[in-house]
Structure 1
Amino acid sequence: MDGIAPDVYAKQKSNAQLMAMQSIDSLIDANYRPYDQIVDIGCGDGDITKHFLGKHLPHKHILAIDIVPDMISYARSHNHSDDNTIEYLLQDMSIEWPELCPRVRELDGKVDLIFSNFTLSYMPDKWRTVGIFRRLLSTGGIFHANIFIIGDLNKKLVTNGQQPGKWYQSREKQLDDWRQSLLSDNQFLVKQFDIIDVIWPTDRQKMIDFMPIIVSKVRPFFKDDQSAYDRELNDHLWDTAFDTVVNPMATEPNPGAWKRFLADPTIREVNRHHRLLRVTAIKQ
């Protein structure tokens, strides 16, 4: 949850809670076995971990992981588990297996469920991420996630003479990467690979609060090219990201879309358009 404070994020999560509860209902309906070990990737402030995973799925232990220090601190202080079944851990899960902390690596082959809600779009290398999940899961273990598929920024990009598409992935490429990474060595049985299009009305202040998250989602595509990312931020990335989310069907760029929104206080609400991938896969 880069770029947003935990207390602000807490006011934004109703849509995330809805999607998480739908996922948990589907796991319950599938009659999967009770879980000795659950890992929640991208737990944020810990609310979904405690009140959704913790209360609705039978478990012995949940390891809740996030990359943002403020989120983990908030989760530990506000959403700790009274029965000590939930543990919060600061960890970047996009790195190579040997670089992960010992606490994660000691779960090699012991995890019954890996759950993630709206965070895996941050992972630039899907094959590496899926490989780590495969290694963590026990035989019969489940990987279930709701994943934002980032809008086609290339179609909205004001290039200023530069070649578009140098950094951004299309939606088709993102979906294909997830599909191929899960099917690459036949160790996963993919039970669900559903595309969900949603429209979420969002009031003005929540849109202003949420924009840093939207912008941060494209950061991994720049890899180590910080100067390119900074240049995009300064030139048009906020306008492009905003236009992609609120007006995805337009075929022409809308330069200054975010700036005009900020300058016009009469705009009290916008519709956010998102494409989500819901995936369930079982390690064979």
Structure 2
Amino acid sequence: MRKFHVLALAALLPLAACGKSDPPPASSSTDATAAPAANTALGRKIQEAMTKAGEKLATENVSVGGKGGNHGFGYRSRSGGKDLPKAEITPQGDLLIAGKPVPVDEAQRKLLLEHRGHIIGIAQAGIAIGMQGADLGIKAATGALKSVFTGTTDDFEKQMEAEGRRIEAEAKKLCALMPGLLASQNALAEALPAFQPYATMDQSDIDDCGKDGNYDFDLDGPSSASAGDEGDRDAGTHAQHMDAAAEADAAAKGSSTGKQ
């Protein structure tokens, strides 16, 4: 079984419970990779950093398990496989194990590229959703207090609930990408013995996706070598987002309990 993590969606989804409202309007987005522009200055900075991270996907190796799986873009095994050498799929369709290429024929290379594509598809979708979630958390943190002073708490709660539900609907689209990932993993494992120890995703990952609002995809981030200072800045920005989301949730709950 594998654990995938795209972004801390759990920080924003509680906002959907901060009030009761009519069902939100249907999202204009046709897929999970289309993220609307941020509405806050910090949100735009987060979007810029995450867009850059998304652009790295096309040029960086994709990690598929083993030691040091937190380098490159890919996924980590929840259990087992951690003592294996690090395995990666390059943009050219090579399988690297402990940094050394495994001999592959053209059919195997095609399967490697297909599996890499599925991983990148989930990562890009998660980045898009994460950008929306970060901006929502910031808007909620700044808007909650304002709504109290302006007497528009109910309207604000309904707006946040609608936005939270819309983003949760986008997150559910990630689950729809999982069967393709499992199929490409299994096809590759069958065709390439060297990859078999790293094929630890199973049907339970698909079955558990979205249960109880859980969209925890543990995708590796950019390598320290390529991210450099940008990674540190992104980590700080992400921490700010988490603080904003937590404040928003607390403010929303506080305003709800204060209503008559």
TM value normalised by structure 2:
0.28
Q: Which structure would you say has the larger RCO, counting Cα contacts within 8 Å and 6 or more residues apart?
A: 2
| Greater Rg by CA | 2
TM-score if structure 1 supplies the norm length?
Answer: 0.27
